[in-house]
Amino acid sequence: MATIHDVAHLAGVSKSLVSRYLNDQKGVSPESTLKIIAAIKELNYRPNGIARSLVLQKTHTIGIVVDDLCATFIFRLIEGLERGAEDFDVDEKYNIIFCNSNGDVQRKQRHLNFLMNGRVDGIVLYGSLVYDDTMIQQLVHSNFPLMLIENDIEGTDVNKVVIDNIGGAFMATEHLINLGHRRIAHIGGNMNLKITLDRMNGYVRALQRYNVPVDQSLIIFPDFSDVDEWKKRDEFMSQNLYFDRGYVEMKKLIEKNQVPEAIFFATDLSAFGAIKAMNEVGLRVPEDVSVIGFDDEFRAAGSFNCKPVTTMMQPLKQAGYVGIQKLVYSLGHPHAAKERILLNTELVVRESTCANKRLASAEQDTRV
């Protein structure tokens, strides 16, 4: 590859002058300009970006590290991030690069090191795995410009945008209660995710708020200890695992004859699996049991050939949008206060919830 030195030499001028031309600075005569242009063309010269970054101490790049770039809902985040960067400032166009950690802490650390080693000006980290908490704590302490999305680590001064999972789970459960259900189960998610506890929390709070007794036997956390084995499979996709867990736990409930009136799932994916299990034994959703999920996984629904499910929509696009904007802003304002931005979820009523049979027949009784 030709360097600026080669160009200068061929054009018969100094490196400084070529550099000035390259950066649209004044003080380059028309004659020099012509010679430089010719030399650049002749040598097919392209400036070396990392040399540039090295001296400028600036890369104009944001790195995004995602736990699962193949997740069915991740497109929302991507869109939000890109729009956010695009809209932020016309002449401050940041490059965005994505890294996929695949839920592997080692790999995540590798990506993080890679990016922080002068590769990018700031990092957006998406995911709430519990077991890389110490890693992220370290990251925060390193003072590298950072934006955490959906990872509400405590006690530290860091920018983050978090989604109100507790509130969302509350609303979901409330929706079921309002429909007249009382025996409401909760089938939780992977305990390796912080949000899993939040969602259970919201569920419990809603029950308490409406004086529905909390029945421990109706709070179910599937076993995710074999994740690593699943991952080794050639056709592994995370959504299949959640689907399977929903299916398995539902089967157990059916066998134990403990099918509840309604179920709040920590994720739509498990709801899809459970619905399959119910269909297999002739249980109808929502007539026999109402089902509400979380995440609005409408893309995944197709993979599992599942009916449209009532769910809590996460504003992941908005999260990406505001997250990257705040990050870019803080790059220009290093002393800006760190912020914790809280976003709300939204109830999307579809075809998997309906009024409780008791309630319905009671109404009919009244009419008669």
Q: Which residues would be at the binding site for a second copy (CB under 8 A)? A: 44, 46-54, 59, 61, 63, 69-70, 72, 75, 78-79, 82, 93, 95-100, 102, 110-111, 113-114, 116-119, 142, 237, 298-306, 308
CA geometry: angle 323, 327, 330, nearest 5 deg: 140
Contact 296, 312 (CB under 8 A): yes
CB of 134 to DNA, least distance (A): 24
Span from 4-12, 75-83, 133-141, 270-278 in contact with DNA (CB under 7 A): 4-12
- Of 93 and 340, nearer to a second copy (C-beta) is 93
Q: Fill in the per-residue mask, 5 to 24: x = in contact with DNA (CB under 7 A), - = not in contact.
A: x------xxxxxx-xx-xx-
How far apart are the C-alpha atoms of 66 and 156, rounded to whole Å? 21
CA distances from 156 to 105, 134, 149, 239 (A): 21, 12, 14, 32
DSSP string across 251-301: HHHHHTT---SEEEESSHHHHHHHHHHHHHTT--TTTTSEEE-SS--HHHH
- Of 17 and 65, nearer to DNA (C-beta) is 17
How far apart are the C-alpha atoms of 168 and 327, rounded to whole Å? 26
Span from 25-33, 73-81, 179-187, 190-198 in contact with DNA (CB under 7 A): 25-33
Please tell me the count of residues contacting DNA according to CB under 7 A.
30
The owner of tokens 């609005």 is 296
The one of DNA, a second copy, none whose footprint includes residue 78, by CB under 5 to 8 A per kind, is a second copy
The one of DNA, a second copy, none whose footprint includes residue 298, by CB under 5 to 8 A per kind, is a second copy
Is residue 145 near DNA by the rule CB under 7 A? no
The one of DNA, a second copy, none whose footprint includes residue 27, by CB under 5 to 8 A per kind, is DNA
For 167, residues 6+ apart whose C-beta sits below 8 A from its C-beta are 202, 344, 345
CB of 40 to DNA, least distance (A): 10
The 3-state secondary structure of 10-62, one letter per residue: HHCCCHHHHHHHHCCCCCCCHHHHHHHHHHHHHHCCCCCHHHHHHHHCCCCEE
Check residue 149 and report its DSSP letter.
Answer: E
Residues of this chain, 48-107, that bind DNA according to CB under 7 A: 48, 51-52, 54-57
CB of 102 to a second copy, least distance (A): 7
The one of DNA, a second copy, none whose footprint includes residue 145, by CB under 5 to 8 A per kind, is none
Positions touching DNA (CB under 7 A) are 1, 3-5, 12-17, 19-20, 22-23, 26-29, 31-32, 45-48, 51-52, 54-57
